[in-house]
Structure 1
């Protein structure tokens, strides 16, 4: 095999596929990136058997073939090369990389040993813009669980109903929900996608408001296709939680508040929290005022924000980080927050319910 390509293209492709290289594995071949130049395109592939990514780059194939190269070594070399044309030649399991005056000779692996991405039928797909997909992932993924004891919580529910796509994540303390309307109408579907997969896709996507991502589903896999990149992931098996049973339209108190003011206030309050400290912020809503208080070993803070309020007064405590995450995920200038009582979750949602953030309260003691 011999190929020629520009360093910039190669670095970008390595960055994309490296997201599917496992950090620990007993199968050393999976620690490699496969360069496949056996057909008409130069394609780079990485696969940890749960998540696989392939992307194609522009270049010249002088001699067809394929080779697998250790991802860490390959990435390290290419990133340090001058910004010129890179030549990669494979003879047997020896790889020669030449760029400018630099020349590396390293070991490779037979490309036929590499585990290829599963071939999926591209049926029952949907189309969504890069911007929209990246946006709804970023605005929900922060509330997946990092605890593997409940596998379903480490993923996100993707639910499709006619022309509405919904993403849902939860970690036992909060729920994040985003809905978007699609251009077409589709068959109803529910699947749970690993959070790692969605997180990596959000990093790869360019966020173009015109470019489309095609998403295809099978019983065990999901496939995302955009530009010259294909991402294939296993789904998480099992029945996702019945979120609708956890949501309520009832409330005893509703406040309308400037989102940025509330976010900045809570953000300031966290200056008094040491890492690992679980001190809550206490919200007290009354008439046209919301008081935000916190007291820790470092000190205390008390601040007031003007609000519009409907219903009765309430005092309730929350994990400040959970509130900050939700507020940062909302673009509206003013938001509505709904409360039932100090022991029940609050709901931050808009009238259309295109977003709905549910946060459980925490117990606190008043002095």
Structure 2
């Protein structure tokens, strides 16, 4: 096996497939990248117990063949090489890598031990703009539970119907929903899949330069294809919680706030907090005032008052400071923000409107008087 390829092309390709290598596995072969060289093409493949990634680039192939080398090590070497052609040759079970005046020899693993790339036959698919879907994923995926024992709560529900994309995630303490309108001319009927949240985020991150992405499903898989990249992950088969029942149909208090000003105030007040303190909201609808208060037993006390447009019942409630900070990190740059409270002892709903509509529901924390 022998090929030559540009340093930047190889470095970019390895950065794409690196997300599929290793992880929590104890199998050495899964820490590697399978490289296939044939007909002027390099095909790179990585896999772990959760995902498989395949990426193709052009190269000058002098001798076709297959090789498996440690993916992270090969990636680190390639990124450090100068901007010059990279030569790769298999010599006596070692990969000889040369670039300008640099030379490396890497021990290889047996390509016969590397798992086959998953075979799939797409049952339903939809083409979506990458930029829009990436923005939507960035607003919901962190809300999904990180605890793998919680099953479907580690996933994101994705639906496409009547030219509307919707993503939903919850960890049972908060809920994030975003939707937008987009042309889906190739979709017949509706599309639905529950995708592991980290896989969904990774798939979009490695395909961010493509204009569109195909999202397809089989009975057990979710497949993402864009350009020369294919990303396959498992399809979660459990039933997603009935999230619509969690969203209040009416509210006792509605307030309109400037998103930027509110975010800045939360950041200032939270500066004295350590751990995960409670952020108190005191709302006076008649005066049109929201007072934010944070008390830290270690650091002290902080408060700030904001002018708001509000109607309904006055009252106070509290939320995890981290949950409110997460909301602002995910809400984007939409200027207007609406806060809706059904009851001061029940979840609050934050909403922003723009190209992507965003809803964030957070459970309250009992306040100590």
TM-score of the alignment, normalized to the shorter chain, above 0.5:
yes
1:357 aligns with 2:360: yes
Paired with 2:328 and 2:177, the residues of 1 have a C-alpha distance of 13
Task: Tell me the secondary structure at the aligned position of residue 292 of structure 1.
Answer: strand
Paired with 1:328 and 1:236, the residues of 2 have a C-alpha distance of 27
TM-aligned CA deviation for residue 172 of structure 1:
1.6
| 8 Å Cα contact 1:282-1:294 kept in structure 2 | no
1:309 aligns with 2:310: yes
TM-aligned CA deviation for residue 72 of structure 1:
2.8
- 5+ residue gaps, structure 1: none
Paired with 2:282 and 2:56, the residues of 1 have a C-alpha distance of 52
| 8 Å Cα contact 1:251-1:340 kept in structure 2 | yes
- 5+ residue gaps, structure 2: none
Paired with 1:74 and 1:351, the residues of 2 have a C-alpha distance of 44
Q: CA RMSD in A?
A: 1.9
Instruction: Report the equivalent of 1:205.
Output: 207
Instruction: Report the equivalent of 1:348.
Output: 350
Moved over 6 A (4+): none
| 8 Å Cα contact 1:37-1:65 kept in structure 2 | yes
Cα separation, partners in 2 of 1:280 and 1:233, compared to 1, 3 Å: same
Paired with 1:32 and 1:300, the residues of 2 have a C-alpha distance of 52
Task: Tell me the secondary structure at the aligned position of residue 120 of structure 2.
Answer: coil
Paired with 1:165 and 1:281, the residues of 2 have a C-alpha distance of 34
Instruction: Report the equivalent of 1:7.
Output: 7
**TM-score of the two chains, using structure 2 as the length reference:** 0.93
Paired with 1:74 and 1:141, the residues of 2 have a C-alpha distance of 30
Instruction: Report the equivalent of 1:257.
Output: 257
TM-aligned CA deviation for residue 149 of structure 1:
2.1
TM-aligned CA deviation for residue 189 of structure 1:
3.6
Paired with 2:42 and 2:167, the residues of 1 have a C-alpha distance of 34
TM-aligned CA deviation for residue 39 of structure 1:
4.7
Paired with 1:103 and 1:268, the residues of 2 have a C-alpha distance of 52
Instruction: Report the equivalent of 1:285.
Output: 284
Task: Tell me the secondary structure at the aligned position of residue 148 of structure 2.
Answer: coil
When the two structures are aligned, how many residues end up with a matched partner?
A: 363
Which deviates more from structure 2 when the two are superposed, residues 139-148 or residues 178-187?
178-187
Paired with 1:350 and 1:247, the residues of 2 have a C-alpha distance of 15
TM-aligned CA deviation for residue 92 of structure 1:
5.3
Cα separation, partners in 2 of 1:238 and 1:39, compared to 1, 3 Å: farther
TM-aligned CA deviation for residue 207 of structure 1:
5.5
**TM-score of the two chains, using structure 1 as the length reference:** 0.93
| 8 Å Cα contact 1:212-1:226 kept in structure 2 | yes
| 8 Å Cα contact 1:223-1:232 kept in structure 2 | yes
Cα separation, partners in 2 of 1:63 and 1:283, compared to 1, 3 Å: farther
Cα separation, partners in 2 of 1:242 and 1:88, compared to 1, 3 Å: same
Deviations 1:149-190, CA, capped at 9 Å, x for gaps: 202111111123232221111112110011122312542343
Task: Tell me the secondary structure at the aligned position of residue 364 of structure 2.
Answer: coil
| 8 Å Cα contact 2:156-2:195 kept in structure 1 | yes
